[in-house]
Amino acid sequence: MSASREDKLLWLAAMGLNLDAIPQPKYDWRFISNGFNIPTKGYADQPFIVKTDDGAWLCVMTTGTQCEGQKGQHVISVRTFDHGKTWTNELEVEPSSGVEASYAVLLKAPTGRIFCFYNHNTDDIRLAKADPKVFPNGLCERVDSLGHFVFKYSDDGGQSWSQNRYDLEIRETEIDRNNPYGGKVKYFWNVGKPFIYKGCAFVSLHKVGGLGNGFFTKTEGVLLKSDNLLTEKDLSKIRWETLPDGDIGLRTPAGGGPVAEEQSYSLMSDGSFFCVYRTVDGHPACAYSRDGGHKWTDPQYMTYTVGGRKVKHPRAANFAWKCSNGRYLYWFHNHGGKNYEDRNPVWMICGKEVQTPQGLQIEWSQPEILLYDEDPMVRMSYPDLVEENGEFYVTETEKHLARTHKIDGKFIDVLFNFDKNATAVSDGLIFSKQGERLSGQADMPKLPQLLARDMFDPSYKTLDMRNGITIDLWIKAASLKAGQILLDARNDAKTGFVVSVGENAAIELKLSDGITKCSWESDQDTIKAGKLHHIAIMIDGGPKIISFVVDGVFCDGNSQRQFGWGRYNPNLRTLTNNDKFMISPDFEGEVKSVKIYNRAIMTNEAISNFRAGLK
């Protein structure tokens, strides 16, 4: 029998151990296991939420006892009154015994009625025509992304659903006529949240041109608009119009690939529609409509405000939400992949509206880590955002578990003020030294442990402390010769950390605890000889990620590499045990400021330090 915690404390005290010194891991709200589970039947997708008139959150989700896309996949709904801690009223919007029903989204009308839109394989098609080079005999057994687009409704906040379902009319366009059925069977699905504008309902739809390598081989986005859904009592008389006008939906920018899907729409303050969507080009695409969705600006790849760099994102869901304060939050994965992989961690940026000659547009902040899992292969996606009483929550799924997460208030505050933060950050600051030309030995502050021993586990296993540090520097290099050392916190055995000039005008960080070694570097051409630079290096012990921010710009790899951020070895125990470290032992230039924090500060906190300047 294992000893109780009380027994273990008595034993540790008898051994002369200071009980106050027993390591206590940091609570990290970003770790997805700290969220609250949403009940599912196994497979879980698209946990989307609306707030009901009786104060509940109503969540609708696609689920099943097997894997994604298999028979028995259906739509359920559940309710919560405590932000996802507990759930009640689990209902089948469509039964598991029926045909595939999938990918539901919710729209709440001003009357309180809630509409649930989803794919429905009404005709019970069991084999879909597909590319014979990929599927045997040119037939695909997965049939959850075709058929009819339908809705049911609830007038009691999701405590019951209508018996009848109703079809949405979808206008045939070029991509339908070119599918294997010539448009007689339509391929499609949807993850985009519906919205209301000028009394009309708008529902997103992602049209598919064929099934093959990567499953969907050609896709584009349209909007289904109804001018009487919110008012007509006879639901058989609902009218639907397919937008945009013409024969082509929202596609990739000129020269882009054939995939333009999972469109996410936001209604802007001037009535414009903003749409962002995934591609296989390594970047999300976006466009604006100034006339209610009839016409759209030429699609462009989404860019950051600072530097005009393209935002990086793989073939994964990316959603933008407009918040009550007029700002936007955007969920993405911050690397230039071109497939479905690497959806961990999740990153978030904030947007603000700015007036341009073409109308309102959105300018975007630098990225922050929002959520992560310890296993890099776990993929979380298909989120929703809920704002309530000044607090923000997100849902997500890793296709087996779905959860809700409360976003930390400080995180939101820093992100919302991305364009205003300009004060030197003091929270967690444990070393600070400024001077015209710093050099020589300095006292090393006590750095937090990355890993410790779990004294309360019978096996004394590893205890992940989820700590981190930040190294913040102002430097001016006289030359860009690689190997010049800015900071050296290593001992004679080369255990510790060192910051140096790397290859191709980058800054490099090397870490070693005597057993484990790892390193990462900033983007190429980060520093210029003779120019004053601000460099922040964040070693984040939650997701085990090293990131660089140089002169207020997050290093995302630019065009040189898929990932600008890197993972360090999770077995790294400490950063240094030294009492001293060296500043600028052989640097051909000037180190003018050194700050060390006992935590990984946020990207936008590093930018705040940059804006505060060298003082």
SS3 assignment for 110-157? CCCCEEEEEEECCCCCCCEECCCCCCHHHEECCCCCECEEEEEEECCC
Using an 8 Å Cβ cutoff, are 344 and 373 in contact? yes
Least Cα distance to 115 among 229, 239, 226, 267 occurs for 229
The single residue listed with the structure tokens 């004394």 is: 460
Using an 8 Å Cβ cutoff, are 66 and 102 in contact? no
**CB count in 10 Å sphere of residue 348:** 23
Give CA–CA dist 557/563, Å, rounded: 5
Using an 8 Å Cβ cutoff, are 236 and 228 in contact? no
The answer to whether the bond into 244 is cis (omega within 30° of 0) is: yes
| pLDDT value of position 2 | 55
| pLDDT value of position 13 | 72
| pLDDT value of position 1 | 44
Least Cα distance to 425 among 370, 472, 392 occurs for 472
The single residue listed with the structure tokens 């990567």 is: 214
Tokens matching residue 267: 């209604």
HEC letters along 347-407: EEEEEEEEEECCEEEEEECCCEEEEECCCCCCCCEEEEEEEECCEEEEEEECCCCEEEEEC
Q: Specify the amino acid at residue 86.
A: T
Determine if residue 565 is left, alpha or beta; phi over 0 gives left, psi from -120 to 50 gives alpha, anything else beta.
beta
Give CA–CA dist 485/34, Å, rounded: 40
- CA atoms 14, 20, 21, 23: torsion sign: positive
Give CA–CA dist 83/157, Å, rounded: 16
**Residue 310 has what DSSP assignment?**
B
With residues binned 3-state (H G I as helix, E B as strand, rest as coil), the percentages for the chain, rounded to 5, are 10, 40, 50
Element (H, E) at 9: helix 5-14
- Write down the pTM of the prediction: 0.96
- Please, which residues have CB within 8 angstroms of residue 261's CB and are 6 or more apart in sequence? 206, 208, 216, 219, 220, 221, 277, 278
pLDDT, averaged per 10 consecutive residues of the chain (615 residues), comes to: 65 70 88 96 96 98 93 97 97 97 98 98 98 97 98 98 98 98 98 98 98 98 98 96 98 98 98 98 98 98 93 98 98 98 98 96 98 96 97 96 98 98 98 97 96 87 96 97 97 94 98 97 97 98 98 96 98 94 96 98 98 93
Q: What angle separates helix 603-612 from helix 409-416, to the nearest 10 degrees?
A: 50
**CB count in 10 Å sphere of residue 18:** 8
Tokens matching residue 606: 């590093």
Q: Which domains, ranges and CATH numbers included, belong to the chain?
A: 42-247 (2.120.10.10), 250-312+323-367+406-420 (no CATH), 429-612 (2.60.120.200)
The end-to-end CA distance of the chain, in Å, is 60
